[in-house]
Chain A
């Protein structure tokens, strides 16, 4: 459990920066880009982009594949699905349950009127 919680910390920390979120957007637009391709869209030094990409890779939000001498970066949304299941799905479920209760109550009212 300790490792998993640390993994999730890394994901949230990696997402807590507009530059890193923008890098994920760039990879969503075009997957499998090199550092040079990504740098062309970033208003920062190559070294800073490298560091941001490393942090995204450590958080497993970016997966890297070597194609010959080129290092290609891929968006890896698997950790986001884990967060979705752990946090967002839970809140959606209670909302859906509330809607379900409301529907039952309203339909029950209809039955009484009928």
Chain B
């Protein structure tokens, strides 16, 4: 494994299976894949999640594709990994960074969800955008899984 650019961890009162479903089911994703601002659009990730398949990060309201990549690993309910790139860079794998989600069951009904992002060192703009984005998404995901609601916004 390369040295990660970011490592984000959150402990969620849920089961590994529910956490997994939230990562791969677009209907759940659009509930928590939100930015901090009230007007930032919800997104969902669309794929069949088979290794080698394409996935797309789409805006729910317009259907615009903001990010793309290839599924690297799909091991329910433990590990999901995919590459991450701008839509125009889909065919140029040198411009893909890598995201992995790891779900580990903990004592007392918690799961530890770790998101690791590496391969961003040549792309400061993406690095800056992502460093703000992931903590919000994970914070929303935690609230969504624990309360069934997204965080109150703006």
Q: How many contacting A-B pairs (Cβ < 8 A)?
A: 68
Contact in complex: B152, A76 (CB < 8 Å): no
As a 0/1 sequence over residues 91 to 106 of chain B, the CB contacts with chain A under 8 angstroms (1 = contact) are: 0000000000000000
- Report yes or no: A60 in contact with B142, Cβ–Cβ below 8 A: no
Q: Is B1 an interface residue (CB 8 A)?
A: yes
User: Distance in Å from the Cβ of A78 to the closest Cβ of chain B?
Assistant: 5
Partner of A3, one of B3, B13, B139: B13
- By a CB distance below 8 angstroms, the chain A residues around B151 are 85, 89
Within 8 A of A (CB), among B29-60: 36
Complex contacts, B66 vs chain A, CB 8 Å: none
Q: How many Å from the CB of B11 to the closest CB on chain A?
A: 7
Q: CB within 8 A of B142: which of A80, A82, A93?
A: A82
Q: Which residues of B contact A98 (CB under 8 A)?
A: none
Instruction: Give the interface centre of A4, A81, A92, A93 by most chain B CB atoms within 10 Å.
Output: A81
Q: Is A78 in contact with B6, judged by CB distance below 8 angstroms?
A: no
- CA gap between A80 and B6 in the complex, in Å: 16
| Alpha-carbon distance A63/B138, docked complex (angstroms) | 14
The reply to whether B152 and A89 form a contact with Cβ atoms under 8 Å apart is: yes
| CB nearest neighbor in B for A90 | B152
In the assembled complex, A65 has its CB within 8 A of some CB on chain B = yes
Asked whether, in the complex, the Cβ of B9 is within 8 Å of the Cβ of A63, the reply is yes
A60 to B7 Cα, complex, angstroms: 11
Interface residue? B88 (CB, 8 A): no
Judge if A7 is at the interface, Cβ distance under 8 Å.
yes
Would A85 and B143 count as touching, CB distance under 8 A? yes
The secondary-structure label for the interface of chain B is mixed
Please tell me if the beta carbons of A74 and B11 are within 8 angstroms of each other in the complex: no
- Cβ-defined contact, A76 with B9, below 8 A: yes
- Residues in A whose Cβ lies below 8 Å from that of B1: 67
B-facing mask of A51-73, CB < 8 A → 1, else 0?
00000000010010101000010
Please indicate the chain A residues that have their CB under 8 angstroms from the CB of B154 in the complex. Answer: 89, 92-93, 96
- Flag whether A19 is at the interface (Cβ < 8 A): no
A77 close to chain B: CB less than 8 A: yes
Tell me whether A81 and B135 are in contact (CB under 8 A). Answer: yes
Contact of B139 among A7, A63, A85, A93 (CB under 8 A): A85
Whether the pair A82, B139 counts as a contact (CB closer than 8 A) is: yes
A80 vs B8: C-alpha distance in the bound complex, in angstroms?
12
Are A65 and B11 within 8 A (Cβ)?
no
Kindly list 9 other residue pairs between chains A and B, CB separation below 8 angstroms, not including A63-B9, A89-B153, A92-B154. Answer: A3-B108, A32-B4, A60-B11, A63-B7, A67-B1, A74-B4, A76-B9, A85-B143, A93-B154
